[in-house]
């Protein structure tokens, strides 16, 4: 049994129809931008009627919100899971950057919509996503602050450092394409080395 | 005599009407995306008739091309000017990152259009901008390669390192806003320190 791309992207979303609409939304938004896409475009890309779309998402904004929320939940869960299974700050940052960068490379089309169409969200939905973003940044900042306290990292301002670390990962989704020679995993490893140096770690 | 914002942004573009249209284009594209913006929206934002717009730009794509081309020419000239006036690789990277980051912070709305609407350009115009991009990356890569050859930098792959350096700068335009506490200059300096470490330089 093969898994559909939409099931791979959003394993927790049910039913498959909702996932198919999210995939059609990602593809339409990535191609023409959020504002130029109509719910009719999305329904048609998913092979459905606009009425069928409204069963799952009451509006175009609700669909963008679902895509954006799940994307942020996935990246938050990825950084939290690294912190949960690793205690050494150096290994935490290494694995965290590897996973975060690889996610933005492997899921570059989804990531672009998640990262660049954020400001199209209505205020209330934006605030929910902004909260997830602050949490992601906080986890990274805490790992850096902890490493600085024990002397394995040397950083001026952990706030700037955390932002730069995440920035490197996010920007991968802007330029990564199917033609990029590095695999997502390899790129994540290379960026991990760069980030560890940026944090003043002596590499073994 | 005070200088208009559009004259400050595009000092080489003449006449003022063309600059006003570029500013209206930047604001409209940044707010609604390229595809959802009409030439009528832009003309109206510039306080002109669509006919007056066509005198300067034959199409919406021509306007995006002008914005994109000038943005890339400005950042290329900024990195080339640093290389021309400095010979030490460490100082070159330091000043280059300072200026590149500060430009993306100070001009964040223009930079967002320049960086994120690139794929809306027609093939021929895209190729002209892509050439400018490759030149910017090449200048940075050459400075890194030169520093690695003389031993002041230690990098695995200068290609990946150059991309990461530019990526940090580009991504500033995504998150920087008028509410950001760091000034563009201060942010540039902080990022310079991070980048010098990333390149394996011992900071004095």
Average pLDDT over residues B196-204: 82
- Quote the pLDDT of residue A131: 98
Contact A34 B33 (CB under 8 A): yes
Of all residues in chain B, the percent with pLDDT exceeding 70 is 97
What torsion do the CA atoms of B108, B111, B117, B122 make, to the nearest 10 degrees? 160
In chain A, what residues touch B197 (CB-CB under 8 Å)? 197-200
- 10-residue mean pLDDT profile of chain A (204 residues): values are 77 92 95 94 95 95 97 97 97 98 96 93 97 98 96 94 97 94 96 96 67
Of all residues in chain A, the percent with pLDDT exceeding 70 is 97
Residue from the list B163, B190, B198 with its beta carbon closest to the beta carbon of A157 = B190
Contact A190 B156 (CB under 8 A): yes
Provide ipTM, 2 decimals. Answer: 0.92
Mean pLDDT of chain B: 94
With contact defined as beta carbons under 8 Å apart, do A21 and A42 qualify? yes
Residue A104 CB-half CA count within 13 A: 26
Average pLDDT over residues B15-37: 94
Average pLDDT over residues B195-203: 88
Question: How far, in Å, CA of A91 to CA of A101, rounded?
Answer: 15
Of all residues in chain B, the percent with pLDDT exceeding 90 is 89
B172/A contact by beta carbon, under 8 A: yes
- Quote the pLDDT of residue B7: 87
Q: Which CATH number is correct for A5-56, 1.20.950.20, 1.10.10.60, 1.10.10.10, 2.30.30.140? A: 1.10.10.60
Average pLDDT over residues B70-91: 97
* Three-state secondary structure string covering A62-77: HHHHHHHHHHHHHHHH
Domain chopping of chain B, boundaries: 5-56, 60-198
Determine the residue of chain B that is closest to A192 in CA distance.
B198
B111/A contact by beta carbon, under 8 A: no
CATH number for the region A60-198 comes to 1.10.357.10
Encode pLDDT of B112-159 as tens digits.
999 999 999 999 999 999 999 999 999 999 999 999 999 999 999 999
């Amino acid at each position: 049994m093969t898994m559909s791309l939409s099931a791979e992207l959003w394993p927790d979303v049910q039913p498959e129809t909702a996932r198919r609409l999210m995939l059609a939304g990602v593809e339409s938004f990535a191609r023409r931008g959020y504002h130029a896409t109509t719910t009719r475009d999305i329904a048609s890309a998913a092979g459905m009627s606009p009425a069928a779309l409204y069963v799952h998402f009451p509006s175009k904004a609700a669909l963008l919100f679902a895509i954006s929320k799940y994307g942020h939940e996935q990246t938050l869960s990825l950084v939290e899971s690294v912190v949960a299974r690793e205690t050494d700050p150096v290994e935490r940052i290494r694995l965290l950057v590897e996973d975060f960068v690889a996610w933005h490379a492997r899921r570059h089309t989804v990531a672009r919509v998640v990262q660049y169409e954020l400001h199209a969200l209505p205020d209330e939905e934006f605030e929910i996503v902004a909260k997830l973003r602050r949490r992601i940044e906080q986890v990274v900042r805490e790992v850096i602050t902890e490493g600085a306290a024990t002397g394995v990292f040397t950083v001026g301002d952990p706030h700037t450092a955390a932002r730069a670390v995440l920035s490197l990962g996010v920007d991968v989704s802007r330029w990564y394409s199917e033609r990029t020679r590095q695999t997502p995993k390899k790129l994540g490893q290379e960026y991990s080395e760069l980030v560890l140096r940026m944090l003043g770690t002596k590499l073994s």
